[in-house]
A and B are shown apart, each in its own frame.
Chain A
């Protein structure tokens, strides 16, 4: 991260990530950003909730493979959303499981994500709650205010809504391009460009 940027609203990294100064990233050493990802103000990412290794290495020295939250390229985390790894009891031991997010994932404002994995080209609306260890595949659209229950698997090309969420429709063949976030990426940052009309 460049330490001497012009004091804009965002910190822009070498790989093109735009991280708002007003975002809360806890445990940055466990958060991986793929590049060209936008993190808006008031976003919170809990990188500190890493997979707990058995207490032998409790010194805090981060092993290489201790990623808690991995985010791909061209993801867009809207204002006020929370990304946190989900915990579970595995063989009698409580541990956090990493949260993996692929490319072109849009997370709407105020959403709380505790999934295990999110594929590419996923649109998560506003105020959505994605429950613990849910698995979301590619090209999925989750409508506003949905509650995705824990452990749910959402197959590709699903449109999902409701409390609890269920698949309510299929993404049509012509709707794939709408998931692209390249243009949206350009519209934020310290010198944003207007959206192409």
Chain B
């Protein structure tokens, strides 16, 4: 089984009502808060899936002083753009032209790779003909340089090398022209005139109606019908005339209650005359149940000519070929996929509506006007296994945990804010689930020094080196300088309860000891019998049930000065103005997989 890199997920309070309400008054912990702490969070509960996020995905509202996750923020679209040509699309165009790129950006219907325009008559290389300035005229095709699909396979070529979207809209697979609704009407008029002249009827093939035309025809037909039936100006008028206080409504209601009185006869008979659409002019489309063509195609071309479900779902909506919409079966029926537009979005806090993330509108820039990420407010937690005898070996891939054998991990908390923070940790002594592992946090309460300017670190390199060495054997919380032998040869480096393992400029490492549970199901059953418990689930090991996850409640406390803005300035000059802040949340520490003996 693939080894698992340790991870930390943080629970967004949006999934839990009580911490959210408590955040309104951070200074006085309510009883609800106390309750909350007693209830252990279960990372395996099905609902937890929806509230656990890696720190990078979380935002932070400075006004509510609370974590916000992608699920609870309100998004607003700032810019639409094509991910291929990177052109911005005005939002007005989205309404009129849809959510796909209308330039020349297409994806391959076979493999979804990008298609490029290539000219096939003048200059040769099929792979590398993307040069747009060349081949302004002549025959152009769309070609995929990954799977070698080309639009000639569906019988489509283009006369110009730009504006492919518009050109494609006018061509059916196979090369026949496709008419817009308006052109259809004109063509039909012409044909009608011609047939009248010729004295013979030549109705257009009914299959040729596309969705737009069909809808237009149906709409005009039924509007005509309604207008006709309501022209009498009595009871059953068109819905548009049904005002609440209109005489029409009144007469209609009267007619209902009087039950077929005299004056209704006329309108009834008229209702009878309202008929359904009869031909394609009126929007009628007969279902084509003749599959013989498809069958013979299958027989002649076989499996290779058919498409996969993935390819089908990638297909854009087919307004032009209604009978193929969602029912494309053959590769010859595929269409190039115009790129779906992408967006830049700003995000608002769901509670106070303040904007907590706002990118610059321009497509080319990656800057943000506002970007309040949780990582700059709450401590990051990194995990690595602690090998006491050999010193730290941070890069070696984690092995599976051995059941029932204590293992120690180093959790490093890094403080991003410019104040000293006090961290309090709480974990259940046994992890929830069928296979409870024992967890001991050796030092559940500690302080992390303030984050100072990065320049300090750069300028005082020696100091930071010293900082790094403030470790082991010097577990004193407020310990001064390093003790010199910074190599940490392993003498006297036993992790001790209540002591910090190591600390640095703005970080602290502590030790967590776990005793992984045995995953043996027979043991599970026997302990269940001993306990006399009923309904113990002795089913086989479920997916990822072997991952050792520790729910950990993290409470961070710090003091800010009243102004709030002058973070980092000398404390103490205005003691009364300091304000205590607190942030508490559940997190989940994933340590690794427990080995199966």
Contact = CB atoms under 8 A, between A and B. Distances in A.
A binds B: yes
Interface of A: 87-92, 94, 131-133, 137-139, 147, 149-158, 164, 166-167, 172-175, 177-178, 194-195, 197
B341 to A, nearest CB: 11
Interface string B112-143: 11101000000111011111001000000000
Interface stretch (B24-32, B368-376, B530-538, B556-564): B368-376
B408 interface: no
B70 interface: yes
Interface of B: 55-59, 70, 81, 83-86, 111-114, 116, 123-125, 127-131, 134, 144-147, 342, 347, 357, 363, 366, 368, 371, 373-375, 382, 384, 392, 394-395, 410, 412, 502, 504, 507, 509
Given A132-B145, A157-B366, 16 more contacts: A88-B127, A90-B131, A132-B128, A139-B366, A149-B114, A152-B114, A155-B342, A173-B357, A173-B373, A174-B55, A174-B57, A174-B374, A175-B56, A194-B394, A195-B395, A197-B382
A150 B58 contact: no
A173 to B, nearest CB: 5
Contact of A173 (B84, B130, B371, B502): B371
Chain B CB within 10 Å, residue with most, of A87, A90, A147, A178: A90
Chain B CB within 10 Å, residue with most, of A88, A91, A132, A164: A164
Contacts of A133: 128, 130
Contact of A151 (B81, B112, B114): B114
Contacts of B509: 197
Chain B CB within 10 Å, residue with most, of A156, A164, A172, A173: A173
Contact of A152 (B85, B113, B394): B113
A148 B342 CA distance: 19
B79 to A, nearest CB: 11
B128 A89 contact: yes
Contacts of A155: 81, 83, 86, 342, 363
Contacts of B70: 172
Contacts of B144: 149
Contacts of B127: 88, 132, 150
A177 B384 CA distance: 20
A1 B127 CA distance: 39
Given A153-B83, A153-B86, A172 B57 contact: yes
B366 A173 contact: no
16 contacts: A90-B134, A132-B128, A137-B366, A149-B111, A150-B145, A166-B112, A167-B83, A173-B59, A173-B347, A173-B371, A174-B373, A174-B374, A197-B382, A197-B384, A197-B410, A197-B507
A132 B113 CA distance: 13
Contacts of A151: 114, 116, 130, 145
Q: Is the interface of A mostly helix, strand, loop or mixed?
A: loop
A138 to B, nearest CB: 5
Contacts of A89: 123-125, 128-129
Contacts of B374: 174
Contacts of A137: 86, 366
Nearest to B375: A174
A139 B357 CA distance: 17
Contacts of B392: 197
A154 B125 CA distance: 24
Chain B CB within 10 Å, residue with most, of A91, A154, A158, A195: A91
> Which are the 8 A-B pairs with shortest beta-carbon distances?
A174-B373, A88-B128, A149-B146, A89-B125, A174-B56, A149-B113, A175-B56, A150-B145
A118 B145 CA distance: 20
A155 B56 CA distance: 20
Contacts of B124: 89, 92
Contact of B123 (A92, A138, A149): A92
A182 B426 CA distance: 35
A38 to B, nearest CB: 16
A76 to B, nearest CB: 15
Nearest to B372: A173
Contacts of B410: 197
Given A153-B83, A166-B112, A173-B368, A197 B412 contact: yes
Nearest to A86: B128
Contacts of A88: 125, 127-128, 130-131
A27 to B, nearest CB: 22
Nearest to B126: A89
Given A156-B366, A167-B83, A178 B56 contact: yes
B123 A91 contact: yes
B34 to A, nearest CB: 31
Contact of A91 (B112, B116, B134, B146): B134
Nearest to A156: B366
B146 A131 contact: yes
